[in-house]
Chains A and B, each alone.
Chain A
Amino acid sequence: MQLTAHADYCPGRHSEHLIPRSRGPIIKKLLLIMNFTAFCILLACLQVSAGGHAQTVTISLKEAPVEKVFQEIKKQTGYFFLYNNEVLTRVGKVDIQVKNSTVEQALDICFKNKEVSFKIFDNTVVVKLNTPKVQTNTTDPITVKGKVSNENGELLAGVSVKIKGTTRGTTTDENGVFSISIPDDALKILVFSFVGMQPREVNVSKKSEVNLILASADNEQREVVVIGYGTQRKSDLTGAVSSVKGDQLTEYPAINTIQALQGKSSGVLIQSNNGEPGSEFKVRVRGQTSINAGSDPLYVVDGFVGAPLPAPEDIASIDILKDASATAIYGSRGANGVIIITTKTGRSGKTRITLNASNSSQKVINKLNLLNADQFVDYIKEANPNYVRGTGNTDWQDVILRQGNIQNYQLGIAGGSEKVNYYVSGTYFDQQGIVIHSKYKRLSVQSNVSFQATDKLKMGINLLLRRIDRDGVRSQEFSGGDGSGVLSAAVRFAPDLPIYNPDGSFSLNSIGDPGDNPYAIATQVQNNSSNDEMVASAFGEYQLIKGLKLRVNAGANTSNGRTGNYIPTTLNQGRNVDGIASLYGFHSTNFLNEDYLTYTTQLAPDHNLNLVAGYSYQKIRAENFGGQGQDFITDAFSFWNLGSANTYLAPSSGMAETELISGYGRVNYSFMNRYMLTFTGRYDGYSAFSRNNKYAFFPSGAFAWNAKEEKFLDDVKWLNQFKIRTSYGLTGNQAIDPYQTLARLSTEIAVIGGQQVTAVRPTSVANDNLTWETTAQFNAGIDLGIFNSRINLSADYYKKTTSDLLFSVPLPQYTGYSTQLQNIGKVENKGYEFTLTTKNMTGLFKWTTDFNISFNKNKIIELPGGQDIFYGAVPGHMVGTGSMQVLRVGQPVGMFYGYIYDGVYQEGDAFVPGSGFEEMPGGEKYRDINGRDADSKLTNKPDGQLDEDDKTIIGNPHPKFIWALNNEFKWKGVDLTIFFQASQGNDLYSFTLAELGRNSGGNNATTKESDHWTPSYTNTDVAAVNPGRAFIPSSQWVFDGSYIRLKNIMLGYTLPEQINERIKIRSLRFYISAQNILTFTKYKGYDPEVNYLSGGGPGGNLNLGLDYGSYPNAKSVTFGINVGF
């Protein structure tokens, strides 16, 4: 059926000329774009409504083709007509003579006795052929009946079942059941077709019952990909986009969607920053483009930019936009990639209920081998002969670690009618962490409803409600004394002490500062947070004229939460102040309005055009407030009675607001499905930028050649896809905090005469010229499909150069300032990504393999003045370590910087002198590699003295490549998934091992300590015990952090349909899976997959590959069940 329509359109095709090409008088241009949107709507409206005034027609025609009548009516009323060409044949020529009659009356005359009917929707007339009445055949028909389901055994409603060569047919009912009579003279072949499924023909000459399974149309190229402000067939894509399907996200219970995404897409690096339940993950798409500004990708959930991510179970698909062609439509926020999340929707048909439940049991992956009480006392007496042995023998790691547990449930109800679709789902995730007293709970409700309000207006509302409750334990803390975290205390604390003293109080450390024991910290410190998210977004999509749609999205996200903290008097830290409590709350709103027009047309046969133009406004406001107090009458108040504190500590409050105004447009043009061009541009204005640079424009262009469509490849049967893509464009990064460009006085406190007074100090200098980081990205890619798509390969090369880096340039501290944010420097990321999907076996036994591998090379191209920038991210009590990371031109960001460790000095060795270094047999020996001449210039030659000049690059935290391999096997109802994920060639710097291996008697040590140097035992590289030994950053604590991890292995069984029927369910699957049970690594710490101080904020880009006191990742075993009703 070929439907044609006739109408004039809004001249949207001119949009590309309206997008400014250069930065210039900027506000004007933005207004131009905004006006364009309005102008376009206006035109469309005028076009339609101008004719709309005349609702009656006057026509006088004889023996005229009915088409002529339609044209006349259209001319007089502006109505347009939609009809099948057969209408023209069936109606033929008409006589008509009407004056001031309605359209209906006129058409009634035309169609009298013509087996044609019509319907008017607003200003559109749909003419259709009347369905022929079922013919009663004289010969006996045969009746065939049966059921149709999909590969997952779900029955399909609405499948078209036709007799081949006729128009006769039926559809399956809500239970997937059909019944059809086939006339004797017809072919005994049925054709089954359904959207998104491969059509199938079945010969029924000898059957009266057919039960068949329709395979999904898994030819990838038919897939639709969600891109910014629209969708596109994968075959028409010019950009680099990876797609992940919803069911890939729920293979094991993930704490959130990001974790579930790990390893699922090439070019996307996801690292856990800390294993604590609820802690955030670090996501980098094609490397990190920035040094100081955020490098997190932009998240777009159902068109809502910056909305919180829904639960993995509620996600239909995730599309990751990687190159500039794909991301430039997000302009100043596109440089770090865009992750587009589409939630599930309902489908018309019978209500479908799904229930997913799983239970996991977790254990720590690894434990450190530490000295036991006896070994410890021997060791500590070498450092401090006066040490008195404690009365216990405690393995603190065992004390604080436990078997964790995750329960994960989802209940979803989806369905709909012709006009209304709905999807409602509730999820519940409850984790008891592997460290005692750590808990995480997530409860969410997602509700997506959409409806066809009129024939032209579609509307919908998506709602997300989410509550997260967390009981945290201290980990990755900065301080080693009183403020120690549970994990670092567990390895540092003296093992010869019991948990409790004889009087019932908790034991305090007998070495170093008298810190609380790890059990006390874990159980006594109250650290509880709660966060409510609400997202409500509504859209309206209106078809203005054929091909031209206006979509208006409006949404709001509010986030409310609080964190309460109480340190009771049972802890040393709390006892000194009689309990200290704090309660902080925050409230933030994110409001977004997007209005955009989409226009699709065929300019001429084989010339297809798709245009998008839109306007967007976003406002984010964040408020915070908190109070704290100490000295309480009782611990029972926890943090819920701050008013009863005898000492009020300074309360706090703050507010920050940003606005973003944008205009954007995109042109997609394709010729013969062979050559595809995309141009994209976005014009952004952002309040947080300096007064001289509020606006910027980000353009991109892309070209793709679908070579397989060329004649000369027609005969190459083994090749079913061959596409080459290339793109270039600019995107931005605006991820800085508001008010950073302004000079600022900060308030502090001082005490005069016993009274508190307010004091102020300048803490930041203004920068009136601060602007966006701009990333120029080139991408070239190829998509290949071989052997009937049994093998699919995508390969991409990219090069991203980020300039105008938002850089906190370190200022000398004698200025009174520490840093100033400037646009200085350049960073480059280039690399290759490959995605290979193969269907190794497709018969009864199915085996598919997905493999992706990504190589990224990060390099600093330019720094202020070409000068190295040194910095450190050292735990507070190890602060004497000094700078141990460097930014250096020609090197990747965050290289480890320190001394080269050369083992221990032996008796008779020549000691290299240097303040802070040891000069004794058994002392740590470092290499002298550099010195200064008389002009204080570096000579790059040893100068016989150890000092700062002898530090050098000692490690690289960036992986050379990361890869993931997923194998899926299916045989009848049994499925098996094996998923490996790996990182290769990255170094880790372990502060934990540096502390435990320092041999200075300040804390417990690893069993390696027993191997230390003594005058009688010299063949070792472990230094002798020395209490005065400094923390020296050195190659000694740099480890190979490469790993290969069996991330998930899952075995499932789906019940056969026959049984389902008997127990009245739609489908049932059980599975057992295990996560992280195998890890191949040389790393000696808990886990190579943790990062210290690497989370959000600027430090996240600078601090790579550090390990200290992290909450370890767990290995787990999961049992689960999926039921469908």
Chain B
Amino acid sequence: MKNIISFIGILSGILCITGCSKLKENPIGILSPEGFFKTQKDVEAAIFDGYGLLSSDAIYGRFFNGTGLELRSDMVAIGNLGTAPERIQVNDFNVNASSGLTGRWWPIFYQVISAENTADQGADLIEASDEIKNQLKAEARFVRAFSYYHLVQIFGDLPYIDKPVSDPAAAKSMGKTPAAEVWGKIIEDFKFAKEHLPDQQPGDVRSRPTKATASAFLASAYLTTHDYQNASTEAKWVIDNKVAYNYELEADYQDLFNADKMDGLKEPLFVIDYASDISGEYQVLPSGIALCNNCDVMGPMTAVGAPALTIGFDVLVPSQAVYDSWNGLDYRKVVSFDTMVLFTGNVSKYYTEWPVPRPHIAKYIRYPGSAASPNGTNSSLNYMLMRYAEVLLIAAEALTEVNGGPTTEALDYVNQVRARARNRAGTITSFPTDVAPGMSKDDFIDLILEERKWELAFEGKRWYDIKRRQLGDKVFKGPDSIEPHSNFDSNRDYLFPIPGSEIDINANLLPQNNGY
């Protein structure tokens, strides 16, 4: 009898305890967007996500700037032919719609945009003054515009999104916005950013934008869309306010690429800030591609691959003609190239004895910081996305276009850049000499483009110059080509194909870019 009673007791006890559960999920350790945005810090966290993604190996860690922009240009070619074929395809103008590289750039830039859209909306939800809200929105919109600035140059017409996506089904059928309209929106965002961003970020860090950063990118956007009047206005605005906002050319060109001197530099307007001792977790995209925030692999991608002390991958190696055509007196060439490295057994070897016997890029491997890996992975470098020297060159080019020829002002801007280049680690040399007045407009524009090529070598700028000035047939097929590609097709190759997987999901993205 007692048994029965105790059984019923136990049973009803269990029924009562367990039957009362509401089956409600109570996730701990998982962040829900509902009610997340309460303070300025929360919105900043969403803004910062964009910086985190831009620092992934998919974008500035190597795959966008390195195996994308640089390989596509005439400044960098493939060293090791055994490297992944998708890289060879970018270099050889033979990309197809399933490229693993466009398959990285596209989703990650759009993830940046998603984070910034969320931040932009989140700023409205917090308790703060309009000034703070606008400043947060300005930073979010700057990073968003920065992403579209690249996407539109790479892919042309594209789906433009400036709100968080809450109904993915609806977003699935959207069409493309023409490139010109996208540029309009980019400029709108940069303008808003210029209006509301602070003069200086806390600690004067250069990995977050200021008014001047926005203005410089505004100048670049105008330059790219051939609106030279506005380009010159914006670039000059930066130049005119450089003292107030603490921007200046560094005395020694090498310092721009030396991790130990990175912090406190005045020249950068916008950088990706790598830190050796910080590394994100690998996230795997549905396509199986693994990505990692703050994972910088440009060092080994450009470094000498051999049984050397620093084992590089020999992937991003300029053609011999890049080296040969560059005046040997130019200090910037010395900073940009390695021609002699230490091999195992403390033997120095000249580049002709290397596995890929061409001079290698030095900007990412020479001074990666003491905490970087021996092959340069995880450097402490800041990658220059915009620096004062470029602003000077933008101003010079735009002014020349506006005025139909070189003005004194334009000449001065170019000569400021050249003057700094004459400082060979403290010793003032005579090369490059100042540009003398009296050049024709076309010659001077060509000179500025050449100056950009050397000054901004291997910094992800050259391909955009080739594209915006439609130089492809000249630099890849012309007699003076430093990296000939006879199959370059100007009807196709100024744009990359939209990832085929996106068209598979949304047929409204058709037609595919021409030729793919």
- Neighbour of A816 across the interface among B92, B110, B273, B283, CB < 8 A: B110
Contact across chains for A552 and B10 when beta carbons are under 8 A apart: yes
| Interface membership of B499, Cβ < 8 A | yes
Contact across chains for A761 and B49 when beta carbons are under 8 A apart: yes
| Interface membership of A713, Cβ < 8 A | no
Contact across chains for B89 and A880 when beta carbons are under 8 A apart: yes
**Which chain B residue shows the least CB distance to A481?**
B313
* Stretch among B14-22, B187-195, B436-444, B474-482 lining the A interface: B14-22
**Contact of A38 with B12 at beta-carbon distance under 8 Å, contacts A915-B94, A947-B516 already known:** yes
* Stretch among A749-757, A845-853, A854-862 lining the B interface: A749-757
Q: A1085 — which chain B residues lie within 8 A by C-beta? A: none
**Contact of A479 with B10 at beta-carbon distance under 8 Å, contacts A661-B19, A814-B110 already known:** no
**Contact of A879 with B288 at beta-carbon distance under 8 Å, contacts A694-B23, A816-B165 already known:** yes
Contact across chains for A750 and B289 when beta carbons are under 8 A apart: no
Contact across chains for A871 and B286 when beta carbons are under 8 A apart: yes
Contact across chains for A815 and B165 when beta carbons are under 8 A apart: yes
* Stretch among B404-412, B413-421, B505-513 lining the A interface: B505-513
Contact across chains for B166 and A765 when beta carbons are under 8 A apart: yes
Q: A875 — which chain B residues lie within 8 A by C-beta? A: 288
Contact across chains for B502 and A814 when beta carbons are under 8 A apart: yes
Cβ of A590 to closest chain B Cβ, rounded Å: 14
Contact across chains for B85 and A1029 when beta carbons are under 8 A apart: yes
Q: B158 — which chain A residues lie within 8 A by C-beta? A: 814
Q: A752 — which chain B residues lie within 8 A by C-beta? A: 48, 51, 205, 207-208, 273
Q: Which of B12, B33, B82, B107 has the most CB of A within 10 A?
A: B82
| Interface membership of A34, Cβ < 8 A | yes
**Which chain B residue shows the least CB distance to A49?**
B1
| Interface membership of A876, Cβ < 8 A | yes
* Stretch among A299-307, A685-693, A1010-1018 lining the B interface: A685-693
**Which chain A residue shows the least CB distance to B380?**
A754
| Interface membership of A948, Cβ < 8 A | yes
**Which chain A residue shows the least CB distance to B49?**
A759
| Interface membership of A513, Cβ < 8 A | yes
| Interface membership of B402, Cβ < 8 A | no
Q: B515 — which chain A residues lie within 8 A by C-beta? A: 915
Q: B49 — which chain A residues lie within 8 A by C-beta? A: 748, 750, 759-761
Contact across chains for B25 and A742 when beta carbons are under 8 A apart: yes
Within 204-243 of B, Cβ neighbours of A (below 8 Å) are at 205, 207-208
| Interface membership of B244, Cβ < 8 A | no
**Contact of A650 with B502 at beta-carbon distance under 8 Å, contacts A760-B45, A880-B89 already known:** no
Q: A595 — which chain B residues lie within 8 A by C-beta? A: 11, 14-15
Cβ of B63 to closest chain A Cβ, rounded Å: 11
Contact across chains for A744 and B273 when beta carbons are under 8 A apart: no
Q: B34 — which chain A residues lie within 8 A by C-beta? A: 743
Contact across chains for B11 and A41 when beta carbons are under 8 A apart: yes
**Contact of A883 with B82 at beta-carbon distance under 8 Å, contacts A751-B207, A754-B275, A761-B114 already known:** no
| Interface membership of B278, Cβ < 8 A | yes
Instruction: Tell me the bound Cα distance from A917 to B94 in angstroms.
Output: 8
Contact across chains for A511 and B82 when beta carbons are under 8 A apart: yes
| Interface membership of B322, Cβ < 8 A | no
* Stretch among A431-439, A651-659, A1062-1070, A1113-1121 lining the B interface: A651-659
Q: B273 — which chain A residues lie within 8 A by C-beta? A: 751-754
Contact across chains for A661 and B18 when beta carbons are under 8 A apart: yes
Contact across chains for B103 and A879 when beta carbons are under 8 A apart: yes
Q: A661 — which chain B residues lie within 8 A by C-beta? A: 18-19, 21, 23
| Interface membership of A143, Cβ < 8 A | no
Instruction: Tell me the bound Cα distance from A911 to B31 in angstroms.
Output: 54
| Interface membership of A715, Cβ < 8 A | no
**Contact of A572 with B115 at beta-carbon distance under 8 Å, contacts A811-B172, A812-B505, A815-B110 already known:** no
Contact across chains for B4 and A45 when beta carbons are under 8 A apart: yes
- Neighbour of B53 across the interface among A748, A820, A916, A1030, CB < 8 A: A748
Q: A652 — which chain B residues lie within 8 A by C-beta? A: 281
Instruction: Tell me the bound Cα distance from A936 to B498 in angstroms.
Output: 15
Q: A825 — which chain B residues lie within 8 A by C-beta? A: none
Contact across chains for B377 and A879 when beta carbons are under 8 A apart: no
| Interface membership of A501, Cβ < 8 A | yes
Instruction: Tell me the bound Cα distance from A134 to B326 in angstroms.
Output: 121
| Interface membership of A969, Cβ < 8 A | no
| Interface membership of A575, Cβ < 8 A | yes
**Which chain B residue shows the least CB distance to A576?**
B373
**Which chain B residue shows the least CB distance to A540?**
B7
10 closest A-B pairs by CB: A882-B98, A816-B114, A916-B96, A879-B100, A750-B52, A576-B373, A759-B49, A880-B86, A617-B18, A1027-B81
Q: Which residues of A contact B (CB under 8 A)?
A: 31, 34, 37-38, 41-42, 45, 48-49, 52, 122-123, 383-384, 386, 388, 454, 456-457, 478-479, 481, 501, 503, 508, 510-514, 540, 542, 544, 550, 552, 572, 575-578, 593, 595, 615, 617, 630-631, 646-650, 652-657, 659, 661, 685-688, 691, 694, 738-739, 741-762, 765, 810-820, 867-883, 914-917, 932, 936, 947-948, 1000-1003, 1027-1031
Give 27 CB contacts A-B under 8 Å.
A386-B355, A454-B3, A550-B7, A593-B14, A615-B15, A615-B19, A685-B23, A686-B23, A745-B31, A750-B48, A752-B207, A754-B263, A760-B45, A810-B505, A812-B171, A812-B509, A813-B502, A814-B110, A814-B159, A815-B165, A817-B168, A820-B168, A870-B501, A880-B85, A882-B500, A1027-B82, A1030-B89
User: Apart from A691-B24, A1030-B96, what are 15 other A-B pairs with CB-CB below 8 Å?
Assistant: A42-B8, A45-B4, A45-B5, A384-B82, A552-B7, A576-B300, A743-B34, A749-B278, A750-B49, A750-B55, A758-B45, A814-B106, A880-B99, A948-B503, A1000-B85
